[in-house]
Structure 1
């Protein structure tokens, strides 16, 4: 549970090594949380978002670990966040068609519909993205 000052919210959190192999564990944890909360419709988007946020932390952060949190913010809203010990904020950049990197935050922005951000902390930062499950009708 995460206490936001307005009461506790259901959440899963885990400290992971700052290594590329941690992405698999992060995706698994996100999928588990969404399954428990009956929000499986967010699974694909959330797994991509956590992979991108984690990749940025792995590439640019300091220290040996990062903290992953998946928080249920309401009936259909989930926040995926990665905390690291670097105060340097991520920067969106334009990637050329031949570039192998530089698209991660654009992907996060698209999947979260612009609902993402960075919270500065005394010792680092939290990069988060909110995802909303919208049921579609089969017409």
Structure 2
């Protein structure tokens, strides 16, 4: 079954897309991030940003309640981007810090923490947004 999703600007400059809460939505989210970064001339962030959005989408797929999530890509500063995933769960993600943990999953936020300048969670009455910011390093 094909999944339809629409993309629209949500401000200047920002993009968002509502996606089904399923693992294959990570590929669509990565495309949205790559497109925005190419348009903004911030290609140097592409590798890290696509990995980060993949992890944020995976967390929402695993822990949210409703059938859709919303992915956002914005540019709050001239040299920075903010990636976000909005879902209908109010459970705040936690960073695992035990290096001896033998869990097969659950290390996504360690990657997010390592690859970003900052990340966090905004709680809403009906859910949350987990966001991460990356900046282009000054040359």
State the TM-score, normalized to the length of structure 2.
0.88
| RMSD, matched Cα | 1.4
Query: What are the equivalent positions in structure 2 for 1:95-110 lying under 5 Å apart?
Result: 96=100, 98-110=102-114
Give the match for residue 136 of structure 2: 133
> Which runs of no fewer than 5 residues in structure 1 stay unpaired?
3-7
C-alpha offsets along residues 34-80 of structure 1, whole Å, 9 cap, x if unaligned? 00000000000100000000000000111000000000112110000
Give the match for residue 67 of structure 2: 64
Distance 2:101 2:94 in 1: 18
> Which runs of no fewer than 5 residues in structure 2 stay unpaired?
1-8
Distance 2:43 2:104 in 1: 30
Distance 2:100 2:36 in 1: 35
Give the match for residue 52 of structure 1: 55
The list of structure 1 runs, each at least 4 consecutive aligned residues, that deviate by more than 4 angstroms after superposition, is none
Of 122, 125, 129, the residue aligned with 2:125 is 122
Distance 2:67 2:105 in 1: 23
Q: Does 1:89 align with 2:81?
A: no
Give the match for residue 5 of structure 1: none
Please state how far the C-alpha of 1:96 moved relative to its aligned partner.
Answer: 3.7
Conserved? CA contact 1:95–1:102, under 8 Å = no
Distance 2:133 2:30 in 1: 16
Of 10, 15, 18, the residue aligned with 1:15 is 18
Give the match for residue 26 of structure 1: 29
Distance 1:122 1:75 in 2: 31
Distance 1:116 1:26 in 2: 18
Distance 2:138 2:115 in 1: 15
Please state how far the C-alpha of 1:21 moved relative to its aligned partner.
Answer: 0.5
